[in-house]
Chains A and B, each alone.
Chain A
């Protein structure tokens, strides 16, 4: 009986190990293959790109497509635009969102439940339902082809997440701290800047990474509100990289642009994986 059971059990374990191994390899392949293919395409010569059957590993590695982006197009400007709009809107979002989150976490405002429900509901609004109205606001304010035409909407679309993540953070802070500060004679605002703010730095970084990612990736507003070539962001500029004709699509240049446009985000994920997960779950689940 015992003799029979032992080999059976070990075989069962090794099978589940093999299954786990296969799943892990599949997950990695499924995740990385499309990105890897873009990397390969971006360094292939045009002959290799248009070879049939496909050439998988480039015969010759070339940086021609990358150079083309900077020589024939103002790609560094697109990167600058994306960075500027994302960074400024992230800062604004933290600056305006954190006080709001604190008020909703601690100050027992009348009507706070309604506001929280409202914040949760607007996160579900697709941007395609908003661009028409926002376009009108931008026209009325004369902000067409102005960075503010992106900075203001981006700050707003990241506001619900900022408030929900920061609020869940503030609620974890010990209330004693604030009570002690009050006894020491601090007013709410000065207590926030002198005592609470230094403690919130980790949460601000977590939130800021998420808002930066969302701002960098935004497409429909950037497509609609900015038509000036030199003010376009990376996603829009990349999508509009066309050739002279339908048959002259610059696949290599597009691949190079996708790599350049995604590298900042890949680096962020590699460094801040834990924070991204924390922020997302705090925003989605606890909020």
Chain B
């Protein structure tokens, strides 16, 4: 059965063009770019080409990009670097809705005598900018705020936050793992010091990421060893994946328009269709400032894992913020931070689209979802409270 893949904020399909570009470097061109001989050394040029492509996606200079192993490494590296560069400053400012790559790293730093201020969000998942402004002090080493949230797609006003942070004299890092390739980012127009990118979220393979480091930003490497990446990230380059990431960034740039027109239209069709056909469904997050591909919707009186496993019977892939899908029995920290009632968190489902999403995939979900919700509500002791089954 064909897979209907609507879980692109989890990971994406590697595009055929990317695979094609990478293939020779997994096979006959296996050299080490650090070697003196042409066979290996020639790969260096390909890596620099990829660097240029990644830089272009966010209008950066190639020497401002380093390659890493994933988005998490980029996030860890950025925050650690800021802390080590300003050792007298002991505070980190971030938000309650960050990815664990940032949140758990900050928690670990608390054991090393750093304090972390987690900024709250409102019902729509938006930050209070005045509170952010008041929170940053002379003691703040780094402010790390994600560009867009992975669960709800809510976009933060990063240009404004970057300006505030710069004015206060702290380092600003943004986890742009979900935003890069989906939103136009012009790094020259906002004072972002560091920005994280992950390959597998934009149709490159897993196991490769990038970190943008603005020229002039103090930097301290996280992985220590050889001279690769001009000493800023040691370790033999993941040549094929880096080349793949470069190609994927180039394609993302070209497809940006489609992302914000066709994909957005499909997402809106799915959203409106589900809200209409499923009683007691509600949208989670700010519908205005949102990634064009993301839909987070709660179905009251039913539980998310049950929905996902029913969808799974039709090979439809999505995610849920329900406690039962988290592996730790803990419901989504993002939806809880937004003050969404537990009843709605348990029944939350995230659909995330990509440029490979086809019309008929959306049609299939629109057909199956009301049936599944109705079936599960029949099973549920609260089902009768739902208007649709009365």
- A joins B in a complex: no
